[in-house]
Amino acid sequence: MTTPRVGVIMGSDSDWPVMSAAGEALDEFGVAYEVGVYSAHRTPQRMLDYAGSAADRGLSVIVAGAGGAAHLPGMVAAATPLPVIGVPVPLATLDGLDSLLSIVQMPAGVPVATVAVGGARNAGLLAVRVLAATEPDLRERMVAFQAELERTVLDKDAALRE
């Protein structure tokens, strides 16, 4: 089995319908990842054990999603030297603004790279870019992906003009 390079974690299994898009993006690039539920409030020690061992277990990036009082990404960032990408998960109330502010307002010294509310796909793509910075094969695939994005827009533009 391939050692996971990215951890995709969330505060509750109820976050998975949003967070699965991060896994799909990693799948598209053939990046091995692991998935798990680690609640900052309900399983704090388990969360700290995960964050504290992540680098030694071979992970390079952690994508962490949570909703409401979304403390998971920040607490994980406090307990690992790895880059952490935070995904604000929107809940039924407050449209995810609470999740966004909980994740993005980190104190100096403990960064979390926060994506848009519900932006798990971009979190997965950002994790790929972090890896691609030192992995030429992955960088080539990211360049091809960006060219495809551009082609899609140009095709739509051409269709509009017909």
The least CB distance from residue 15 to ligand RP5, in Å, is 5
The least CB distance from residue 42 to ligand RP5, in Å, is 7
End-to-end CA distance of the chain: 50
Judged by beta carbon, residue 70 or residue 142, the one nearer ligand RP5 is 70
| Residues in contact with 47: Cβ distance below 8 Å, sequence separation at least 6, in sequence order | 38, 39, 40, 72, 75, 76, 79
CB burial of 110-134 (b: ≥16 within 10 Å; e: otherwise) equals eebbbbebbbbbbbbbbbbebbbee
20 in contact with ligand RP5 (CB under 6 A): no
114 in contact with ligand RP5 (CB under 6 A): no
15 in contact with ligand RP5 (CB under 6 A): yes
Does the annotation flag 15 for ligand binding?
Answer: yes
**Candidates 5-13, 19-27, 102-110, 133-141 — which segment interacts with ligand RP5 by CB under 6 A?**
5-13
62 in contact with ligand RP5 (CB under 6 A): no
Judged by beta carbon, residue 21 or residue 89, the one nearer ligand RP5 is 89
Largest CA distance in the chain: 60
The least CB distance from residue 7 to ligand RP5, in Å, is 15
At residue 74, what is the residue type? G
Q: Which DSSP string do the residues of 99-114 spell out, in sequence order?
A: HHHHHH-PPTT---EE
Residue numbers belonging to the annotated binding site: 12, 15, 42
